[in-house]
């Protein structure tokens, strides 16, 4: 049993559940579908992990993060990564104040609660490295001064799976810093129809003497439905979710077998196991359970494990994908298949 | 002169070669044979074995062997007879049937039925038969057991060797095949039902350890996902479907409470797992095909 604090009381549980429900409902007013992405965002937020979203442009990633930040009264910043971006463009720099003739620290956009790092693979490795270091240590050094990043601090990075020319793929060690890597799918047919209907109803917005066409960003309600205190309460509640010894065994078994699979050159690190348990706790809470069950493991395995496994060249040549391997590992959950 | 006679004294082991008549005759000295008639030659041979003597010149008309009585102690055969002046020259083959000194003259007679005269004066050879049996013993010992002679010759040996090689090869192949079969049987992974059976039994007895509880739950999830044909589903979709299914749902929800929920619970593990205590080894495969 991995309880570090007192078990979750019924009152706390209900309060957290209501908070989560309100946030999801607010997000749902703007973003159609994407329930799983919202869930992953909240998991990352509640557990202090970071999230990498892989998907083609136009899937409402920015809108999603924006509405989430406004729902909980969090600061939000967005950085579009490009090849000419410098580390100081993100973390900040010392600038000379000409009036006082002294250097003054100008903090970068990283000093926020939710940072959307758009197309992170388009930035040079030194920029990626600077961001990933900040993600790990939750502090940055500008000049000679070290600054602690605000809490909570969550990086939501995006990656376009196509158009790889001119990009710098994140190495495994840096990918490992992301607790979750979620692969976005296109919305379903009904969701797509709803998106179009909502967009068609937006209309225009008069500004000064003219007008602009409204976007989803313009209809975001500024009133938060949850406070920072409630967020902290949810984070505490996650840590009170019960994790049984049996569940830990499942996690250990799954992670260990990923290292011995015949198609895998590099299996999951222990950090994968830690992330699986953290994320499972948050998911259990969001599904109204004060304890984790194997369903949480199955649901999160792809997002937590897939980016931490590197396949053998022979397997890739044979057309094996990481999803195939993971499916085989999970199908062999009974211990009969998927032996290396 | 006795020395003029070439005697072929046959020993038991080499009777014929040494006493061949052609080799035994000494023509240069045959003329003096009559002078030797008064002196007889004495041979020595074991009882039952033949002794030969050649070029024995005996005076008078031609001699022949008298018919033998059934209990005659000496058997004599004249193997050659040739005129020798007024006398005849004989080659004898002698076999004594009883030990003692036997006079050949005692079994001879004239072919013309004339008187033989004094046997001692005739000069016929004598045979001293030496008994090899102990005194008073009439029959020999029963033969000692001996190694059987080799069957057949070189070809037979080759055939037998080839057959033995083939049999050995066949045995080796059979043993190898049996060993491989045994190894294959040992290497065959246990079926899911075979893995589940001891876990279920021990779970009902409350003897499961931490790893075994996890293995039991994984096994039952695997069991039901196969039975309900959910193998092709995405892994994250399998468990929600299993939990919602009327057959597998109660089991999985019960397992979750038993294995994952904090605090005391009211799950009767024995009753929960009772349907899985005696699964046939191929029950899962059959169940999978059925769906």
Question: Do B235 and A247 count as a contact with CB atoms less than 8 A apart?
Answer: no
Question: Do B239 and A327 count as a contact with CB atoms less than 8 A apart?
Answer: no
What pLDDT does B17 receive?
Answer: 38
The CATH code for residues B37-130 is: 2.60.40
Question: Do B256 and A293 count as a contact with CB atoms less than 8 A apart?
Answer: yes
Mutation target among B191, B213, B214 for the A interface, most CBs of A within 10 A: B214
Q: Are A244 and A291 spatial neighbours (Cβ–Cβ below 8 Å)?
A: yes
Are residues A33 and A178 both part of a single domain? yes
| Non-local CB neighbours of A134 within 8 Å, separated by 6+ positions | A90, A91, A110, A140, A149
Give the closest of A3, A247, A301 to B235, CB-based.
A301
Q: What tokens appear for B72 in the block? A: 């005659």
Are residues A255 and A147 both part of a single domain? no
Distance from CA of A58 to the nearest CA of B (A): 25
Which positions in chain B touch A3 (Cβ < 8 Å)?
Answer: 262
CATH of the domain at A327: 1.10.8.80
- What crossing angle do the helices spanning B210-227 and A294-305 adopt, rounded to 10°? 90
What pLDDT does B284 receive?
Answer: 57
| Non-local CB neighbours of B5 within 8 Å, separated by 6+ positions | B26, B36, B41, B53, B55, B56
What pLDDT does B37 receive?
Answer: 45
Are residues A169 and A253 both part of a single domain? no
Q: How many domains does chain A have?
A: 2
Distance from CA of B177 to the nearest CA of A (A): 26
What pLDDT does B7 receive?
Answer: 39
What pLDDT does B281 receive?
Answer: 60
Residue A275 is part of which domain span?
A: 241-340
Domain residue limits, chain B: 37-130, 192-283
Average pLDDT on B264-280 reads 77
Chain length of chain A: 340
> How far, in Å, CA of A103 to CA of A106, rounded?
9
What pLDDT does B39 receive?
Answer: 61
Average pLDDT on B211-237 reads 84
Give the closest of B210, B219, B238 to A335, CB-based.
B219
What pLDDT does B32 receive?
Answer: 45
- Within a domain: residue A236? no
pLDDT digit string, tens, across residues A117-151: 888 888 888 888 888 878 888 888 888 888 998 88
Out of A85-94, A154-163, B109-118, B165-174, give the one with best mean pLDDT: B165-174
- Within a domain: residue A89? yes
Q: What is the CA radius of gyration of chain A?
A: 21
> Chain B: residue nearest A7 by CA?
B262
Question: Do A246 and B223 count as a contact with CB atoms less than 8 A apart?
Answer: no
- Within a domain: residue A211? no
Are residues A170 and A22 both part of a single domain? yes
| pLDDT over 50 (residue B289) | no
Which residue bears the tokens 């007889």?
Answer: B40
Question: Each residue of B126-155: b (16+ CB within 10 Å) or e?
Answer: bbebeeeeeeeeeeeeeeeeeeeeeeeeee
pLDDT digit string, tens, across residues B185-198: 777 777 777 778 88
Contact status of B236 with chain A (Cβ, < 8 Å): yes
> How far, in Å, CA of A174 to CA of B81, rounded?
128
Question: Do A249 and B214 count as a contact with CB atoms less than 8 A apart?
Answer: yes
Which positions in chain A touch B231 (Cβ < 8 Å)?
Answer: 331
Residue that finishes a domain, picked among A166, A186, A206: A186
Are residues A167 and A301 both part of a single domain? no
Average pLDDT score over chain B? 78
Would you place residue B20 in the very low, low, confident or very high pLDDT band (cuts 50, 70, 90)? very low
pLDDT digit string, tens, across residues A85-123: 898 888 888 888 888 888 888 888 999 988 888 888 888
Are residues A38 and A115 both part of a single domain? yes
| pLDDT over 60 (residue B118) | yes
> Residue A338: which region, alpha, beta or left (left: phi > 0; alpha: psi -120 to 50)?
left
Mutation target among A294, A301, A325 for the B interface, most CBs of B within 10 A: A294
- Within a domain: residue A201? no
Give the closest of B192, B217, B234 to A336, CB-based.
B192
Would you place residue B217 in the very low, low, confident or very high pLDDT band (cuts 50, 70, 90)? confident
Question: Do B239 and A331 count as a contact with CB atoms less than 8 A apart?
Answer: no
CATH of the domain at A64: 3.40.50.300
Are residues A38 and A179 both part of a single domain? yes
Distance from CA of A54 to the nearest CA of B (A): 19
Would you place residue B31 in the very low, low, confident or very high pLDDT band (cuts 50, 70, 90)? very low
- pLDDT of chain A along its 340 residues, tens only? 554 556 777 788 888 888 888 888 888 888 887 788 889 989 998 998 899 988 888 888 888 888 888 888 788 888 888 888 898 888 888 888 888 888 888 888 999 988 888 888 888 888 888 888 788 888 888 888 889 988 888 898 888 877 777 788 888 878 888 999 998 888 888 888 888 888 777 777 777 888 877 777 777 767 788 888 888 888 888 988 999 989 999 999 999 999 988 999 988 989 999 999 999 999 999 998 889 999 999 999 999 999 999 999 999 999 999 888 998 888 765 544 433 3
What pLDDT does A205 receive?
Answer: 78
Are residues A23 and A171 both part of a single domain? yes
Which positions in chain B touch A301 (Cβ < 8 Å)?
Answer: 235-236
Are residues A251 and A162 both part of a single domain? no
Are residues A172 and A278 both part of a single domain? no
Question: Do A245 and B213 count as a contact with CB atoms less than 8 A apart?
Answer: yes
Question: Do A290 and B262 count as a contact with CB atoms less than 8 A apart?
Answer: yes
- Within a domain: residue A247? yes
What pLDDT does B282 receive?
Answer: 60
Are residues A25 and A128 both part of a single domain? yes
ipTM of model: 0.78
- Within a domain: residue A314? yes
Distance from CA of A157 to the nearest CA of B (A): 24
More confident residue, B171 or B118: B171
User: At CB < 8 A and 24+ separation, what contacts does B29-34 make?
Assistant: B29/B1, B29/B4, B30/B55, B30/B57, B30/B84, B30/B89, B31/B85, B32/B1, B32/B4, B33/B4, B33/B57, B33/B84, B33/B87, B33/B89, B34/B59, B34/B85, B34/B86, B34/B87
Mutation target among A8, A246, A288 for the B interface, most CBs of B within 10 A: A246
Average pLDDT on B79-92 reads 92
Contact status of B202 with chain A (Cβ, < 8 Å): no
Are residues A166 and A266 both part of a single domain? no
- Within a domain: residue A226? no
- Within a domain: residue A196? no
């Amino acid at each position: 049993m991995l309880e570090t604090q007192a078990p979750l009381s019924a009152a706390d549980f209900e309060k957290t559940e209501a908070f989560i429900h309100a946030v999801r409902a607010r997000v749902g007013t703007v973003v159609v579908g994407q329930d799983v992405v919202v869930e992953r965002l909240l998991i990352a937020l509640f557990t202090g992990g970071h999230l990498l979203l892989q998907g083609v442009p136009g899937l409402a990633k920015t809108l999603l993060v924006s509405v989430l930040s406004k729902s909980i009264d969090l600061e939000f910043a967005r950085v579009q990564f490009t090849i000419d971006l410098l580390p100081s463009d993100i973390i900040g720099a010392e600038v000379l104040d000409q009036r006082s003739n002294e250097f003054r620290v100008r903090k970068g956009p990283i000093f926020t609660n939710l940072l959307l790092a758009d197309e992170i693979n388009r930035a040079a490795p030194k920029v990626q490295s600077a961001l990933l270091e900040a993600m790990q240590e939750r502090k940055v050094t500008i000049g000679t001064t070290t600054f602690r990043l605000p809490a909570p601090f969550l990086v939501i990075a995006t990656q376009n799976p196509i158009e790889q020319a001119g990009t710098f793929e994140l190495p495994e060690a840096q990918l490992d810093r992301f607790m979750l890597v979620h692969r976005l799918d296109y919305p379903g047919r009904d969701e797509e129809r709803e998106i179009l209907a909502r967009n068609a109803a937006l209309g225009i917005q008069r500004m000064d003497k003219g007008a602009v066409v409204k976007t989803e960003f313009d209809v975001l309600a500024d009133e938060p439905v949850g406070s920072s205190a409630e967020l902290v309460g949810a984070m505490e509640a996650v840590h009170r979710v019960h994790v049984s010894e049996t569940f830990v065994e499942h996690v250990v078994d799954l992670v260990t077998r990923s290292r011995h699979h015949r198609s895998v050159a590099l299996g999951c690190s222990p950090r994968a196991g830690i992330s699986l348990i953290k994320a499972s706790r948050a998911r259990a809470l969001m599904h109204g359970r004060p304890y984790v069950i194997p369903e949480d493991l199955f649901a999160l395995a792809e997002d937590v494990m897939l980016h931490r496994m590197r396949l053998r060249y022979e397997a890739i040549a044979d057309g094996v994908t990481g999803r195939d391997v993971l499916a085989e590992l999970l199908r062999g959950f009974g211990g009969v298949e998927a032996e290396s | 002169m006795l020395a003029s006679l070439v005697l072929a004294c046959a020993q038991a082991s080499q009777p014929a070669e040494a006493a061949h008549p052609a080799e035994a005759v000494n023509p240069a000295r045959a003329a003096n044979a009559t002078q030797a008639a008064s002196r007889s030659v004495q041979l020595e041979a074991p009882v039952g074995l033949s002794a030969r003597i050649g070029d024995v010149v005996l005076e008078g008309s031609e001699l022949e062997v008298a018919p033998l009585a059934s209990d005659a102690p000496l058997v004599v055969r004249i193997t050659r007879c040739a005129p020798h002046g007024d006398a005849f020259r004989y080659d004898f083959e002698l076999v004594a049937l009883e030990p003692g000194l036997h006079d050949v003259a005692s079994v001879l007679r004239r072919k013309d039925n004339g008187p033989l005269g004094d046997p001692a004066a005739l000069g016929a050879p004598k045979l001293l038969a030496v008994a090899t049996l102990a005194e008073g013993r009439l029959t020999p010992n029963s033969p000692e057991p001996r190694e059987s002679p080799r069957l057949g010759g070189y070809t037979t040996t080759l055939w037998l060797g080839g057959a033995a090689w083939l049999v050995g090869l066949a045995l080796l192949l059979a043993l190898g095949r049996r060993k491989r079969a045994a190894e294959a049987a040992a290497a065959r992974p246990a079926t899911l039902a075979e893995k589940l059976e001891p876990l279920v039994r021990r779970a009902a007895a409350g003897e499961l350890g931490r790893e075994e509880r996890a293995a039991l739950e994984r096994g039952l999830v695997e069991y039901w996902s196969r039975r309900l044909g959910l193998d092709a589903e995405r892994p994250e979709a399998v468990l929600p479907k299993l939990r919602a299914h009327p057959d597998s749902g109660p089991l999985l929800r019960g397992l979750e409470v038993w294995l994952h929920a904090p605090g005391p619970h009211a799950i009767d593990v024995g009753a929960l797992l009772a349907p899985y205590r005696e699964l046939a080894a191929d029950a899962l495969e059959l169940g999978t095909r059925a769906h």
